[in-house]
Amino acid sequence: MNDTYALRRFAVVFDTEPDAEPATYRMQCAVCDAFGPTVEAVQGDDKSTLGARIEAAREASDWVRQHRSSNREHFTYRLIETHPYRLAPGEWRR
């Protein structure tokens, strides 16, 4: 009996499958760590992927004005982006 084993290489790639989770955007105050709402980059028939992401980031940043109006000393914020990735099977290695 002669058993042969092989290892498969995988690559981490951006998930563009139809069932992939959407990219999300959220603002966070760097002073108090409060978060704004999570906004999904929704792609429609007339929107490109980049256009949907830009629109979602803009919508997420609207929260900053609201937060700052009640926290006048908070000037520093961060944008948190979440993008779906997956492992794609590659070549077999013996």
Domain for residue 94, yes or no? no
Range of the domain at 14: 10-89
Q: Domain count of the chain?
A: 1
Could you report the per-residue pLDDT of 38-53, keeping only the tens digit for each?
999 987 655 568 888 8
Query: Would 4 be classed as within a structural domain?
Result: no
Whether residue 48 is contained in a domain is answered as yes
Per-residue pLDDT of 5-21, as tens digits, reads: 678 899 999 988 888 88
- pLDDT, residue 51, reads 87
- Write down the pTM of the prediction: 0.76
**Domain-embedded: residue 1:** no
SS3 letters across the chain: CCCCCCEEEEEEEECCCCCCCCCEEEEEECCCCCECCCEECCCCCCCCHHHHHHHHHHHHHHHHHHHHHHCCCCCCEEEEEECCEEEEEEEEEC
Is 36 inside any structural domain? yes
